[in-house]
Structure 1
Amino acid sequence: MAFGASLALVGAARSQSFTVTDILGREVALRLPVRRALLGEGRQIHAIAALEGRAAFTRIVGWGEDLEKADPDSYRAYVEGFPDAGRLPKVGSVAAGSFDIEQAVALQPDVLILNQEAESASRDARLVEKLGRAGIAVVYIDFRHAPFRNTDPSLRLLGQLFGREEQAESLIAFRNGQIARVTRPIAAIPDLQRPLVMVDRIPGYSDGCCMSFGNENFGLMVEMAGGRNLGSELLPGTFGTINPETIIARDPDVVIVTGGNWNLLAPGGNWVGLGPGADLAMARRKLEALARRPAFAQGKAVAEQRIHAIWHQFYNSPYQFAALQRIARWLHPELFRDLDPDETMRELHERFLPIPYRPGYWVESSGSQ
């Protein structure tokens, strides 16, 4: 079934009910545009703010605590621009089993927006049925599990919910145009030499080595940017772990670390702190320390100074196109020498977002390309 709204109008002109279709293919009836929305994840604001602009929090009645904990630099930027956002009620996580249905009902939302990964826990808890009895609709979006398939329909669905269809289409056009700035040059070179890339997911958050991505999300970005993703060959799903011995044996040409500010979740960790306004000198020192781990220390990527780090939260937002551009520059610096992902992020903020652009989303080891 096609994603989007089937304009099934019910009732009088001033009381319109529509049926929308979410990314799971579920048909959901509700009145549009919504007046009160509950965000199952705070990080959904990355998409909603791009559609709502200065009205980003006008219709938000509560949100998950994940933005404050897992992406505190973005949280701080939004609270600085919208002080009321800091006073919004925090709701528990459906996926983690801490969601409080009574609290959700008390907030009187028209709709609860959940990420795809919450679907199993939601089904087990019969959340849709319970909230439905209170007149609260539930819809699912996805920027994480299959972002290059589900981002456009997720943005269109949000555009329909908030009555921002034109803005959603503008953002989608911008996003797809920026993606094409990478994929078109890659497609024009059928015999392109593709370096082998290890995407090292959130190293330093824990002591283990090494989580990575399969053939989706950052793994697919590597492939689209003209590389060969090691995880695509070894992992059956979007996420998984590659043992250090395999990394040493395969000796990747390039290592890309994902990092973020996890002071609240893993204080004192060796993770690479990236995000808006990040201290890039500190991030570089921590990246170079991670490069000394046994899985990488004697490898080609470290010897040739092709070890880089990128903001982890690109994996769960509609801004993956900027990460794709940055990865393309790392993998093929000559082919993409005129591509400036910083300028792309700046344009995204100026055209769509209600907060200013603050660099800090990527860093390279000293002397890297």
Structure 2
Amino acid sequence: MRFPGRSAMFAFGVLASTVLPAMADPVTVKDVTGRDVEVNVPVKHVILGEGRQIYFLAALDKENPFQHVVGWRDDLAKADPESYAAYLAKYPGIAKLPTFGGMKDGTFDIEQAVSLKPDVILMNIDAKTATEEAGYIEKLAKAGIPLVYVDFRERPMENTEPSMRLMGKLMGKEQVAEDFITFRSDAIKQVTDVLEKANPKKPVVFVERAGGYSDDCCMSFGNENFGKMVELAGGINMARKIIPGTFGTVNPEQIIASNPDQVIVTGGMWEAYVPGGDWVGVGYGADLAEAHRKLDKLTKRPAFTGVKAVRNGDVHGIWHQFYNSPYQFVAIQQIAKWLHPDLFADLDPDATFRALYARFLPLDYKPGYFVSLKGE
């Protein structure tokens, strides 16, 4: 038998390297809980523990963020139907993606997950307790499937950057992740640098979480999420000392007694959850006239009787999903513009969001994320 010469073998090696796909390499990554997890990267198959995780996956893959998704939780179509419809129109194949229930409500189907042979499962940090109590990590490990935690909700101002870097590492999009982080940081500095120099008086702000979603009043935020965004935007979060964690509830009497200067209500198109509800329908391409009507209706509730913000028209609606995505910097800019209109007269949050879409996201931008009663 005649063996090929060294030059022939070299030529074969070059050919193979150009034809065969690059093999994934095992790498140990640290998730946002501090766990060291071994994952073969770049991952080729991923399960999204929450459908809204597409917000950050899309920012890393402008061409086709779904190309490696083999399953996802079924929340996006209900929580953000406009964005889901836009993604569905561009990527119709997502209608056939297997869907899952949640870890927290015990409806996650681990056998289905294993059958899809993912390289990794992404889980939000707020599902950590339920995940551990059910022993999912150990069960998945027996099938050779790692689980990593990300966080854009519990401590987004602390965990967004490490979560994006982690995802960049997993998806082989490390430079894109760094570019996004820089874009985000620069947008926030457009607010914080001005405030540091001007040192304006800070208005008291009440942020109502998902106002009108139920008849109860009122959910809000402690010293994180929208509460932290308010402070970065130059305000005092009314509920900071009332709510010890990220999320909680304040009594109507506390709102009246605090007499906030500004009220911000988070909202979305939640027809699937609360048909015909009083929620403020802001979001991708939203009908702002209808959102304005609903926002005004919410001010008539007893919790806002005689409140300064209502008297002065300083009541605003903002897209709820800023609380659960890496796009919080747009919300910070808009809140700053509401709280300090003279300082930020030239700041254009809508243009910032439009630039984000143009540079990082696969969809065409549609406004509709903010509404206000001020001056109307």
Q: Identify the TM-score tier after normalising by the shorter chain.
A: over 0.9
Asked if the contact 1:272–1:309 (Cα under 8 Å) also holds between the matched residues in 2, the reply is yes
1:37 Cα shift?
0.2
Distance 1:14 1:322 in 2: 38
Alignment of 1:281 with 2:289, yes or no, is yes
**Counterpart amino acid of 2:28?**
T
Alignment of 1:207 with 2:193, yes or no, is no
**Counterpart amino acid of 1:201?**
R
1:99 Cα shift?
0.2
Deviation string for 1:231-263 (max 9, x for gaps)? 112110111111001111111000000000100
Cross-structure match for 1:170: 179
Distance 2:270 2:79 in 1: 6
1:57 Cα shift?
0.7
1:53 aligns to what SS in structure 2?
A: coil
Cross-structure match for 2:68: 59
Distance 1:86 1:286 in 2: 31
2:266 counterpart (258, 261, 271): 258
Distance 2:302 2:76 in 1: 33
Cross-structure match for 2:227: 219
Asked if the contact 1:284–1:366 (Cα under 8 Å) also holds between the matched residues in 2, the reply is no
Distance 2:332 2:99 in 1: 32
Distance 1:76 1:16 in 2: 35
Distance 2:215 2:182 in 1: 41
**Counterpart amino acid of 2:171?**
F
1:184 aligns to what SS in structure 2?
A: helix
Deviation string for 1:281-327 (max 9, x for gaps)? 00000000001111113211111110000000000000000000000
Asked if the contact 1:259–1:274 (Cα under 8 Å) also holds between the matched residues in 2, the reply is yes
Cross-structure match for 2:19: none
Cross-structure match for 1:290: 298
1:123 counterpart (122, 129, 132): 132
Asked if the contact 2:223–2:245 (Cα under 8 Å) also holds between the matched residues in 1, the reply is yes
Cross-structure match for 2:161: 152
1:111 counterpart (120, 142, 157): 120
Give the aligned CA root-mean-square deviation in angstroms: 1.0
2:63 aligns to what SS in structure 1?
A: helix
Cross-structure match for 1:361: 369
Which entry has the higher C-alpha Rg, 1 or 2? 2
Alignment of 1:234 with 2:242, yes or no, is yes
1:362 Cα shift?
0.7
1:30 Cα shift?
1.5
1:73 Cα shift?
1.1
Aligned length: 355
Cross-structure match for 2:9: none
Gaps (5+ residues) in structure 2? 1-21
1:314 counterpart (316, 322, 328): 322
Asked if the contact 2:314–2:374 (Cα under 8 Å) also holds between the matched residues in 1, the reply is no
Distance 2:181 2:255 in 1: 36
Deviation string for 1:54-95 (max 9, x for gaps)? 121110001111111111111111111111112111111012
Distance 2:86 2:73 in 1: 17
Distance 2:222 2:195 in 1: 21
Structure 1 residues 282 and 29: CA distance shift in structure 2, 3 A = same
1:189 Cα shift?
2.7
1:55 aligns to what SS in structure 2?
A: coil
Alignment of 1:142 with 2:126, yes or no, is no
Distance 1:74 1:357 in 2: 10
Deviation string for 1:33-66 (max 9, x for gaps)? 0010000000000000110111211100011111
Q: Which runs of 4+ in 1 moved over 2 A?
A: none
**Counterpart amino acid of 2:300?**
R
- What's the TM-score, normalizing by structure 2? 0.93
2:126 aligns to what SS in structure 1?
A: helix
Cross-structure match for 1:332: 340
Distance 1:88 1:54 in 2: 18
